[in-house]
Amino acid sequence: MPTRELLTLALLAALGGADAQVQGHVAGNLNVGNTRQPMLDVLTVLVPLIGYPRTLNALAALNEGAPAA
């Protein structure tokens, strides 16, 4: 389940325009036991694939839902 949530987060980030859903799946990732770091790793890998603006939107959702300590 944790891997599936990470994949869902990556897919929604790549789609763009799904900011509310990205925020929901950040929370979903936390609920299934993923920490902030794997989500950050996934989004970092996606930068050259989905572009900087979509990655920034997803990172904003991550920072809101799972702030850095």
Contact indicator for 29, 39 with CB cutoff of 8 Å? yes
What topology does CATH give the domain 2-65? AhpD-like (1.20.1290)
Report which of 67, 21, 62, 23 is spatially closest to residue 43, judged by C-alpha positions: 62
Quote the pLDDT of residue 28: 97
For residue 59 the two structure tokens come to 């990172």
Distance CA 14, CA 32 (A): 21
Q: At what angle do helices 36-50 and 19-31 cross, to 10 degrees?
A: 150
pTM: 0.93
Tens of pLDDT along 13-52?
Answer: 999 999 999 999 999 999 999 999 999 999 999 999 999 9
